[in-house]
Amino acid sequence: MTAQIRPAAGRMASFIPKAVGSWLAEADHVYDAETIFQYIDGAGEVYRSYNMKLLVSRRFHKDGRPDIVVDLFDMGSSADAYGVFTHDLDGENAGIGQESTYKAGLLSFWKDRYFGSVYSEEETKESKDAVVELGRRIAAAIPKEGPKPKLLAYLPAEGLDAGGVRYFHNYSILNFHFFVADKDILLLEQTASAVLATYASAGKKSYLLVVGYPDEAKAARAFESFSKNYMPDAKKSGIVRTEDKRWTASAKAGNIVIVVFNAGSDQFAMNQLASVQELIEAAGKK
């Protein structure tokens, strides 16, 4: 059961071609944040966690060939379109939209407030060409680009794995990429925005988490909650050597909480915190 096509859905549908090669479009299906479960079951929670507004799904059929499915999401903002794109970064760059990946018959891309997925149910050379062509035409039809989340500006450039940056709003997605705790000890609560980035540190991955809260009071409560639950032994130092001989450090700057996980040394952890604080300060002066 799908929702009525609404004007916004009509506009999104206009971005999607009616045919690609000999593949012809079938009827559109439209879902919102409530009805998405009818389409993709529990996986709908991922899109809901990025505040999805609308999904237009269109299947393309060609006799004797695998079907191709376009799922075009209106995420409400370019930040969340970017965010849901970062949920799965596996694959090769397909050069479509503002960023894209292609793997095993699936093209994912984002542009402005839209996240697109074009998927061939079986990958052939012909279907791959059609998938990429569809993606290219959809992205071209979206009239403008959108900005990435502001929090990205607080990630130090040195050592950053640019292909491993994730943006999100809740602890389930955080745990998906880096398990912290089975409860929301950082009080993300879907109202905060966070970036998780990976850096090389002493031959291993170090993780930098930067969380922006709606206000300073909320950030203070979150910082206290994290300190109490995750690193009570750090006391006021803000840094602790964890059981695997790595280092975790945290700090608060205004409405932002910064955590470095898995650092190879205390020096690296403290330098990372200082670098982020400098970037925050510099941004505040602009």
Interface contacts to other proteins, rule CB under 8 A: 37, 39-47, 69, 71, 88, 90, 103-106, 108, 117, 119, 121-123, 172, 175-177, 179-183, 185, 229-231, 242-244, 261
Measured distance CA(96)–CA(133) in Å, rounded = 10
CA 150-151-155 angle, to 5 degrees, is 125
At its nearest, how many Å lie between other proteins and the CB of residue 121? 7
Q: Pick between residue 168 and residue 255 the one whose CB is nearest to other proteins.
A: 168
At its nearest, how many Å lie between other proteins and the CB of residue 231? 8
Give me 51's structure tokens.
């505040």
Q: Pick between residue 7 and residue 42 the one whose CB is nearest to other proteins.
A: 42
Q: Pick between residue 48 and residue 137 the one whose CB is nearest to other proteins.
A: 48
Which of these, 152, 1, 3, 154, lies nearest to 86 by C-alpha position? 152
At its nearest, how many Å lie between other proteins and the CB of residue 217? 22
Local structure of residue 2 (DSSP, 8 states): -
Q: Pick between residue 120 and residue 255 the one whose CB is nearest to other proteins.
A: 120
Three-state secondary structure call for residue 15: helix
Give me 105's structure tokens.
């018959």
Measured distance CA(213)–CA(210) in Å, rounded = 10
Q: Pick between residue 69 and residue 96 the one whose CB is nearest to other proteins.
A: 69
Q: Tell me, what amino acid is at 203?
A: G
At its nearest, how many Å lie between other proteins and the CB of residue 67? 11
Measured distance CA(142)–CA(154) in Å, rounded = 29
Measured distance CA(223)–CA(230) in Å, rounded = 10
How many CA atoms within 13 Å lie on the side-chain side of 71?
18
CA separation (Å) from 215 to 49, 158, 161, 254, 259?
A: 20, 29, 29, 8, 18
Q: Pick between residue 179 and residue 236 the one whose CB is nearest to other proteins.
A: 179
Q: Pick between residue 91 and residue 254 the one whose CB is nearest to other proteins.
A: 91
